[in-house]
Structures are given as C-alpha cells and as structure tokens.
C-alpha cells in the first residue's frame, strides 16, 4: 500500500508543479507584455480587475509554492536521482551532487549580483 500512496503523491506533485509553473509563466508574460509598467501608464495598470502589483504578488506566492513543491519532488525522487548520478559518475556521486548544488548556488549568487549592481 505504501508504494501506491507514494505513486499517487508523486503524480499529484507533478500535476501541481505543471499547473504552478505554467501559471507563473503566464503571469510573467502578462506582466511583461500586457499590463503597462512605469509612470506613463497611469490608470491602465489593471487587468481583470487586479492591479499590476496584485499580479506581482500572485506571481511571488506561486513562485514560493513552486519552491515548496520542488522540494517535495526532489525528496520523492531522491532514490532515482542518486541511482542515475551513480550510473554516470560511479563512486563520485556524492561529489557530483554537491557540485550540482554548488553550481546552483553560484547561479543564484551571480543573478543576485547582476540585479543588485
């Protein structure tokens, strides 16, 4: 029974990840190309009764929910991640996963630097 529950949880998580990510993308495109930005836009910053800042908040909360779902997704698929990494790099799988985590942190740090300065 435990395998059945885990399989259902994986499926539900995948569906939520898909819906959440497509929603984030749709709102991002909406904010980039449909809802005007800047001071010159005046009162035209509304879409479907919500202000541009409201859409931005929804975008943020969906992104935070995505991170939570991603954590669950990685946890549910951890065995597959380890086994696949082992098949590519053998005994160095821990170092490889640490290098991937480090690369991710480096990308986040560089992105922060670009936005900050």
- Residue 27 confidence (pLDDT): 97
Can you say whether the dihedral through the CA atoms of 41, 49, 26, 77 is positive or negative? positive
Mean pLDDT for 25-46 is: 84
Structural domain count of the chain: 2
Same domain, 71 and 82: no
pLDDT category of residue 41 using cuts at 50, 70 and 90: low
22 and 48 part of one domain: yes
Q: Is pLDDT larger for residue 14 or for residue 2? A: 14
Q: Assess whether 65 and 100 both reside in one domain.
A: no
Domain match, 57 and 83 both: no
pLDDT of residue 5: 86
Residue 28: which residues within 8 A CB-CB, separation 6 or more? 59
- Its domain, for residue 46, covers 1-76
* Band of pLDDT at residue 44, cut at 50, 70 and 90: confident
Residues 49 and 70 in one domain: yes
72 in the same domain as 25: yes
Q: What is the DSSP letter of 47?
A: E
Could you tell me the pTM of the whole model? 0.81
The pLDDT tens digits of the residues spanning 48-105 come to 989 899 999 999 999 999 999 999 999 999 999 999 999 999 999 999 999 999 999 9
Please report, for the chain, how many H helices and E strands are present, in that order: 4, 2
Q: Are residues 88 and 63 in the same domain?
A: no
Residues 63 and 19 in one domain: yes
Model confidence at 1, pLDDT cuts 50, 70, 90, reads low
Q: Are residues 61 and 84 in the same domain?
A: no
């Amino acid at each position: 029974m435990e395998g059945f529950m885990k399989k259902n949880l994986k499926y539900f998580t995948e569906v939520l990840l898909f819906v959440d990510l497509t929603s984030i993308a749709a709102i991002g495109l909406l904010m980039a190309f449909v809802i005007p930005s800047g001071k010159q836009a005046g009162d035209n910053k509304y879409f479907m009764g919500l202000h541009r800042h409201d859409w931005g908040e929804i975008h943020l909360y969906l992104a935070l929910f995505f991170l939570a779902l991603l954590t669950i997704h990685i946890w549910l698929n951890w065995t597959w991640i380890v086994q696949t990494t082992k098949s590519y790099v053998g005994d160095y799988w821990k170092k490889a996963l640490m290098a991937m985590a480090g690369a991710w942190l480096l990308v986040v740090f560089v992105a922060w630097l670009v936005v900050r300065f």
